[in-house]
Chain A
């Protein structure tokens, strides 16, 4: 065997960058360094081309007409559902429900699955590091139906101990809602173990996979999770589309979410009967173009290789962490052992918004603020953090640009 064939497959980030035209632009006269991927990822040509191709040749409404284009568009749209099924390794296509985004998927579960099953005093278990979209829908049930929220804490490093979930589950617990990866701390939770613990006690689990699904393979059957949520725009796909994976048995037992076209079997003056899942939960004209775009994004991600991309991103994040830590006066927020490519930090004496403003003038886009996780901010004793989050197209040079820009900010505030 030649030495060459033993070489690991090279991750060609420069070639990947060619797929993302926006990365070539400048910001304030500097090359764009886009490190706000956890908020939303940029779109590759492959996705844009697929959308253009679909809209140019086969677009129409779906499930409605007998004409040629309606059939063609319906095929493309349903094929996209099948693409999500394989992406998540779900058992059936009809376990995939389209939503407007991750937020709507969680609201759908709160309103169609949990709400009808709740009695006053029932408990919902969630972690302190949830995104507001995995908190507020449960607060609705607290406000409207007298449910109470049980919070699972994280360690100072940002780790979530599955045993703490076990301890939080009591006789009145009806549901566990937990993130698969924190959008602030980067913590990758031990979801499979959490699901096992909850199921032992007969409690269903929703996992917020809006971040985790972008960074590595997800197998909903292996995780054995009841509900899994993704959002298209973070997966290099379009805005306006998200995914709810739910077990068939749950979907069949769930009441409709919104009422309208597509979700019915029959409507009369006196009565209405509903379509089978997943259409029961997809009232109105669905995000057709977005679904085709999302399928293209998943194809793209798999063509790069989800594990290869995650390894690349994690290496960048660890490099950033090491370099930021080496600067005096930078504190990392979130140092879990199992961590994705999300780096939150505080620069002592510089508020995150001032830091982000200065970084921006250097072309470096990071997020500053509470990241829709105010419960976590309170737990960490901070008002706001700066957050650099890495995508499959980021480079080591961009990590260095980030660190250089942080040093410039420190000079301004010296």
Chain B
């Protein structure tokens, strides 16, 4: 197996895809959106509970998809819980850069280190959409328009 593949399917990714964190729904969510990738049929629903101080108090997701899309949603949910809404946007920007082979210069060192597990996707351009689906859905949930498609 080659190094790119090993990086893509590294242990963290496999672990998150097998045991996704925050998997399920949130009954008291005040933001939600569905993400759908029409190319491969991956589906994800994101639930967010944002409090009066614009902080993501709780987050959950459910859906069906490949290991990359599930792991990405799981990692995202871990990362965003407790963050402010405007931070979520910065994190998303940094994440999109990382999976397209960029630096993620706007990310803090801790955040970059955490998200770097997904950077292996950058060697697989056909799989970038799997990695970004949950993030796009999260963004539409926050913006309130309900559905997201990858590009």
Contacts and interface: CB of A to CB of B under 8 A. Distances in A.
A384 interface: yes
Interface stretch (A180-188, A331-339, A353-361): A353-361
A408 B1 CA distance: 8
A347 to B, nearest CB: 12
Interface string A374-414: 10010000011000000000000000000000001001110
Nearest to A369: B40
A412 B5 contact: yes
Nearest to A362: B1
Given A370-B40, A374-B41, A383 B64 contact: yes
A351 interface: yes
Contacts of A225: none
A368 B67 CA distance: 14
Binding site of B, secondary structure by majority: helix, strand, loop or mixed? Answer: mixed
Contact of B40 (A29, A358, A384, A413): A384
A-B CB proximity, top 9 nearest? A351-B66, A353-B66, A383-B41, A354-B67, A369-B40, A354-B66, A361-B5, A370-B41, A412-B9
A383 to B, nearest CB: 5
A384 B124 contact: no
Contact of B4 (A361, A383, A384, A411): A361
27 contacts: A28-B2, A29-B2, A350-B67, A351-B65, A351-B66, A353-B127, A353-B130, A354-B9, A354-B66, A354-B67, A357-B126, A357-B127, A361-B2, A361-B4, A368-B40, A369-B41, A370-B41, A374-B41, A377-B41, A383-B42, A383-B43, A383-B64, A384-B40, A384-B41, A411-B1, A412-B5, A412-B14
Interface in A180-201: none
Nearest to A382: B41
A413 to B, nearest CB: 7
A377 B42 CA distance: 13
A369 B2 CA distance: 24
Contacts of A411: 1
Interface in A340-373: 350-354, 357-358, 361, 368-370
A26 to B, nearest CB: 13
A401 B126 CA distance: 22
Interface residues of A, number: 21
Interface of A: 28-29, 350-354, 357-358, 361, 368-370, 374, 377, 383-384, 408, 411-413
Nearest to B67: A354
Contacts of B2: 28-29, 361
Which of B1, B14, B64 has the most C-beta atoms of chain A within 10 angstroms of its own C-beta?
B1
A317 B87 CA distance: 52
A412 B18 CA distance: 13
B68 interface: yes
Given A369-B39, A370-B40, A384-B41, A358 B65 contact: no
B14 A357 contact: no
B8 interface: yes
A368 B66 CA distance: 11
Contacts of B130: 353
Contacts of A351: 65-67
Contacts of A369: 39-41
A413 B14 contact: yes
A98 B74 CA distance: 50
A408 B130 CA distance: 22
A357 B69 CA distance: 13
B33 to A, nearest CB: 19
Which of B1, B14, B66 has the most C-beta atoms of chain A within 10 angstroms of its own C-beta?
B66
A406 to B, nearest CB: 13
